Amino acid sequence: MCDNIQLLCGLCRIGAYTVYRRLCCKSSPETKPNFNVLCIGLTGAGKSALLALLSGDEFHNIPPTVGFSIKALIFEDCILDVKELGGGENVRPYWDRYFEGSQGIIFVVDSASTEEDFATAKSELNKALSSQFLRGLPLLVLANHQDVEGAKSDAEIALFLELSTETGRRQWMIQACSVVNKLQVEAGFANLRKVLLGGKVTAPENGASDMNRI
């Protein structure tokens, strides 16, 4: 029953957001390209904090997302409607119900995770990427919490997640980041936007995106 209530709340938020955007656009036609982007990752990966950082909202002490939320990120070249899905064990089984309509994927991973959580993150990412609705979509992996002692590098995480196997299937990029360095987060989103707008970002053979390191 609790899961059904969370799903219903998520649908209501999405519906309300859609109505709001349509009403606003009546008086001010949108000229920028608009992309629907999916944001997933385990609880504690820092999805909400990174999105709040980019939008200029308060990002300290943000509680874990329960269910689903949507945030519009307005950039100079486009608008990203980011649909963030909660990463709890009771929510992840329902992720695939919200994949349809996505045009890009953001996967946030806690770089200082335990081995068990890394394994779970890899499993959930593989499940998501196998969905028919996400096939071929560009993928941005945010290796978050780089400011935490013991955090794995973006190169290590790329190898562990076996991102190189996605070559030929989709464009992917990985960005080491944390909330203490907004430039890193912006660099990752800049590359994702470049791909969504028709450009191309090449991942180095070592599995890490050196061009994204700041």
- Cα-based angle 139, 144, 145 (whole degrees, multiple of 5): 175
20 within some domain: no
pLDDT of residue 78: 96
Residue 122 exposure: Cα atoms within 13 Å on the Cβ side = 17
**Beta-sheet strand order (sheet of 68-74):** 68-74, 79-85, 34-40, 104-110, 139-144, 172-176
- Give the domain extent around 135: 31-212
172 within some domain: yes
118 within some domain: yes
Q: Return the closest-CA partner of residue 195 out of 153, 155, 166.
A: 166
Q: Return the closest-CA partner of residue 76 out of 166, 183, 194.
A: 194
CA distances from 147 to 57, 110, 150 (A): 20, 11, 9
Provide block-wise average pLDDT over 10 residues at a time, the chain (214 residues).
49 49 50 95 95 86 77 95 95 95 98 96 97 97 97 97 89 96 97 94 52 36
What does the alpha-carbon distance between residue 119 and residue 123 come to, in Å, rounded to a whole number? 6
pLDDT of residue 25: 47
6 within some domain: no
131 within some domain: yes
pLDDT of residue 211: 38
- Whole-model pTM? 0.82
What does the alpha-carbon distance between residue 55 and residue 175 come to, in Å, rounded to a whole number? 18
203 within some domain: yes
- φ and ψ at 153, to 5 degrees? -75, 165
Yes or no: say if 155 and 207 are a contact pair by the CB < 8 Å rule: yes
pLDDT of residue 2: 47
20 by Cβ neighbours in 10 Å (0-12 / 13-18 / 19+) ranks as exposed
pLDDT of residue 102: 98
pLDDT of residue 177: 98
Give the domain CATH number at 95. 3.40.50.300
Quote the number of domains for the chain: 1
pLDDT of residue 80: 97
132 within some domain: yes
69 within some domain: yes
pLDDT of residue 199: 86
